[in-house]
């Protein structure tokens, strides 16, 4: 999927279209055909407990808002024990003090993942010295995170080990990412390390780094790295020695058996990790508005499905801010349930379903700001609406034709006649190979965009080729 949010790209495409967007009437039969929710992806599923090297991991996490620091601390200590014991469900409560330290952990985690993702999107072939320097820095950052998550670092408030609040959340993130890679991310991690934040983070970094370098992760390296970093008084002071160790080991390592397919899968996991941590950051910043968060894994037909729920206090809302220009605001009110199907049957689409709670809550998409006001005035009658489903199909290749197709199904609760609205965005592109003295690039040679906004009355369509509006 493109890095720019789909709806951001849509608006950027629409701004030049004032006065020239095509539209035509829509019949009820057409609307019924266009606006159809996918079958409930959770129907017929079973709760699923993932497994790493024989170690059973929790398949469901519940995180509650707890005003009391003492009760929250007891809950977190018990949750860490639950993880160690291989419990099926982890139920943990967070006070505001714990949430503040957890936010610090998430900020560090996001920074480390950004560096790991930058490494994953580059090339390390033949440049092992720079690769080793980058890997040593990432591992040092992960070690500092592990110390916070195990209350060894500065994650304390008085005598309370508030940094422990990060441990269940980091585990939940690692489990999800491992499922995204079909078990490849942490598959080589021994059962004794499956519940250890330090070992999980180090293994994650090394697995991605060696895959990018096109080399097999040497046996025993993860243990050696974690032992060195754990014993160091300052993990950042140990970077130089760690870089020398990594450079020597990567030069000695054999070629990766997974090849480009493994590296591509791990890059996709890194993208998902960054998005997940960014969402958690926004959520924890507004922890006073949150009542409860749930996350679970389900299985159906050999496929893992993610289920989530967010409950917000009465009369409050949790907003995901406009992290990029023109991106619509996303607001959670009441209770909302989300299901993520990574590959729908027959189509292969990524499907994200949003189910409003019985309390009338849900996820709202809000087109706020002057840019959307102008688009609404000059181009098309786009409205704030409840988000019900997003379907995305991406087939992006390094050369030749590529395509992104996204459909966003919305409801406008105030429309008593027919609340349905639909956004459809399609982008096709062609790329070629450009070989240079020291690198290979894949520039886009042509790009076509088609955007449609559909109401029960009319369908508005905008088409452009290489950025130029077409009649």
Q: For the segment 169-223, what is each residue's pLDDT rounded down to a tens digit?
A: 777 777 777 777 666 666 666 545 545 677 778 888 888 888 878 888 888 888 8
Give the per-residue pLDDT at 160: 45
Give the predicted TM-score (pTM) of the model: 0.77
Q: Which residues contact 191 (CB under 8 A, 6 or more apart)?
A: 52, 53, 54, 55
What pLDDT is recorded for position 455? 94
Helix (H) or strand (E) holding 61: strand 60-65
Cα–Cα distance list, 329 to 42, 178, 216, 397 (Å): 27, 30, 43, 31
**Tens digits of per-residue pLDDT, 151-161?**
554 443 433 45
Q: Is the pLDDT of residue 137 over 80?
A: yes
If you average pLDDT over residues 226-245, what whole number do you get?
89
φ and ψ at residue 63, rounded to 5 degrees: -120, 120
Burial 294-325 (b: 16+ CB within 10 A, else e): bbbbbbbeebbbbbbbbbbeeeeebbbebeee
Helical H runs in 181-258? 197-212, 221-231, 239-252
pLDDT at 158: 39
Average pLDDT, rounded, for the chain: 79
C-alpha span between 276 and 61 (Å, rounded)? 15
What's the rounded Cα separation, in Å, for the pair 180 and 57? 15
Residue 235 has pLDDT above 90, yes or no: no
Condensed to tens digits (0 to 9), the pLDDT of residues 375-400 reads 777 677 888 999 999 998 877 666 56
Q: With H, G, I as helix, E, B as strand and everything else as coil, classify residue 114.
A: helix
Q: Residue 303 has which token pair?
A: 């496929």
Angle of helix 166-180 relative to helix 96-120, nearest 10 degrees, comes to 30
Q: Tell me what percent of the residues of the chain surpass a pLDDT of 70.
A: 79
Q: Check pLDDT > 80 for residue 232.
A: yes
Place of tokens 């289920």: 307
Identify the weakest region by mean pLDDT among 67-71, 258-262, 306-310, 375-379. Answer: 258-262
Q: Greater confidence, 205 or 13?
A: 205
The band of 260, judged by pLDDT with boundaries at 50, 70 and 90, is low
Of 51-60, 175-184, 248-257, 416-425, which has the strongest mean pLDDT?
416-425
């Amino acid at each position: 999927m493109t890095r720019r949010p789909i709806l951001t790209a849509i608006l950027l495409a629409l701004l030049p279209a004032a006065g020239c967007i095509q539209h035509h009437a829509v019949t009820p039969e057409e609307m019924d055909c266009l606006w159809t929710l996918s079958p409930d992806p959770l129907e017929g599923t079973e709760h699923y407990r993932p497994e790493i090297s024989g170690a059973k991991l929790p398949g469901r996490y519940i995180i509650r808002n707890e005003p009391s620091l003492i009760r929250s601390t007891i809950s977190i200590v018990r949750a860490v024990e639950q993880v160690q014991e291989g419990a099926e469900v982890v139920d943990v409560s967070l006070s505001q003090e714990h949430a503040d330290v957890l936010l610090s952990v998430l900020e560090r985690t996001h920074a480390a993942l950004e560096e790991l993702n930058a490494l994953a999107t580059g090339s390390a072939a033949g440049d092992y010295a720079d690769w080793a320097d980058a890997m040593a820095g990432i591992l040092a950052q992960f070690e500092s995170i592990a110390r916070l998550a195990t209350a060894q670092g500065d994650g304390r408030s008085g005598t309370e080990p508030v940094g422990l609040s990060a441990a269940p959340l980091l585990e939940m993130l690692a489990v999800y990412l491992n499922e995204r890679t079909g078990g490849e991310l942490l598959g080589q991690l021994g059962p004794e390390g499956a519940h250890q934040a330090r070992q999980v983070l180090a293994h994650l970094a090394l697995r991605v780094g060696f895959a990018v370098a096109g080399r097999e992760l040497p046996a025993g390296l993860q243990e050696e790295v974690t032992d060195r970093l754990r014993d160091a008084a300052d993990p950042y002071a140990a970077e130089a020695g760690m870089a020398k160790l990594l450079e020597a080991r990567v030069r000695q390592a054999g070629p990766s058996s997974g090849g480009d397919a493994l590296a591509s899968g791990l890059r996709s996991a890194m993208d998902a990790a960054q998005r997940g941590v960014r969402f958690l950051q926004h959520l924890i910043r507004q922890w006073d508005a949150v009542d409860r968060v749930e996350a679970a894994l389900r299985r159906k037909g050999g496929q893992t499905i993610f289920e989530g729920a967010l409950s917000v206090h009465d009369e409050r809302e949790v907003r995901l801010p406009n992290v990029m220009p023109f991106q619509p605001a996303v607001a959670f009110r009441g209770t909302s349930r989300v299901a993520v199907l990574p590959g729908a049957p027959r189509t292969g689409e990524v499907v994200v379903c949003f189910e409003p709670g019985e309390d009338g809550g849900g996820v709202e998409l809000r087109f706020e700001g002057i840019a959307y006001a102008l688009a609404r005035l000059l181009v098309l009658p786009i409205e704030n609406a409840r988000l019900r489903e997003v379907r995305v199909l991406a087939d992006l290749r390094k050369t030749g034709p590529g395509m992104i197709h996204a459909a966003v199904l919305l409801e406008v609760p105030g429309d008593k006649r027919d609340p349905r609205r639909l956004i459809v965005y399609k982008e096709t592109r062609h790329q070629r190979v450009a070989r240079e003295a020291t690198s290979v690039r894949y520039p886009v040679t042509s790009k076509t965009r088609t955007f449609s906004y559909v109401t029960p009355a009319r369908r508005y369509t905008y088409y452009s080729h290489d950025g130029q509006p077409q009649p």
